[in-house]
Amino acid sequence: MNIFDALRQSHETQRTLGARLLAADDGRGDRHRAFLNLKRELAAHETAEERYFYVPLWEHDETVDPSRHAIAEHHEMDEMVESLEEMQEGSPQWSELVHKLVHKIQHHLDEEENRFFQAAGRVLTEDQKLALAVQYREEFDRLLDKESQEAA
């Protein structure tokens, strides 16, 4: 497994959780749980991806702009999550912003997979691609664990 496989695996989880959130109703707290799951997954992914994908990419001219763009989008998504937490869950404004967030996530993942991965593939060495996958997965697991414990 290389870094691209590792990131794609997380992306698939996010796509699934996003769809689940859009489909969730409030029966037995399903909607709240779906929101928390997506929030934690997103936060752990963004941080681990910045550390073990975008930071190494900063070192190459060709991938500075993609890194900057992606990290800016991470901030936008974080702000949307924060706004959602301040709103009345299930209100029309909340639902509207949830749709925007899920679409933003989809756009972000597609752009990473279709554009940034290709650029990164040209600048990272094969050894780096393998080593970053291990580091990404360790960090992602650690962060997700921490998020879940803090919430418990």
**Interface residues toward Fe ion, by CB under 5 A:** 49, 112
Helices assigned H by DSSP within the chain: 3-23, 30-49, 55-58, 61-86, 92-111, 117-123, 126-151
Shortest gap between Cβ of 124 and Fe ion (angstroms)?
15
Shortest gap between Cβ of 92 and Fe ion (angstroms)?
29
Shortest gap between Cβ of 25 and Fe ion (angstroms)?
28
Which C-beta is closer to Fe ion: that of 41 or that of 49?
Answer: 49
Which C-beta is closer to Fe ion: that of 94 or that of 140?
Answer: 140
Query: At 34, which amino acid appears?
Result: A
* Contact predicate 129/48, CB 8 Å: no
* Contact predicate 22/102, CB 8 Å: yes
Which C-beta is closer to Fe ion: that of 48 or that of 94?
Answer: 48
